[in-house]
Amino acid sequence: MNVRQEARQGTVIDGTTRVAGVIGDPVAHTLSPPMHNAAFASQGLGWVYVPFRVAPEHLGEAVRAVRALNLAGLNVTIPHKVAVLEYLDELDESARLIGAVNTIVNKGGRLIGYNTDGAGFLRSLRSDAGTEPRGRSLLLVGAGGAARAIGVQLVLEGASRVDVANRTYEKAKDLAQHLTQGAGGQSRAYALDELTPQVLRGYDVIVHTTSWGMAPQADVPPLISSDALSPDTLVCDIVYTPRETTLLRAAKAQGCRVLEGLGMLVHQAALAYELWTGQRAPVDVMYSVLETKLAERETD
Catalytic residues: 81
DSSP string, the chain: --HHHHHHT-----TT-EEEEEEESS-TT--HHHHHHHHHHHTT--EEEEEEE--GGGHHHHHHHHHHTT--EEEE-TT-TTGGGGG-SEE-HHHHHHT--SEEEEETTEEEEE--HHHHHHHHHHHHH----TT-EEEEE--SHHHHHHHHHHHHTT-SEEEEEESSHHHHHHHHHIIIIIT-----EEEGGG--HHHHTT-SEEEE-SSTT-TTSTTSPPSS-GGG--TT-EEEE---SSSS-HHHHHHHHTT-EEE-SHHHHHHHHHHHHHHHHSS---HHHHHHHHHHHHHHHHH-
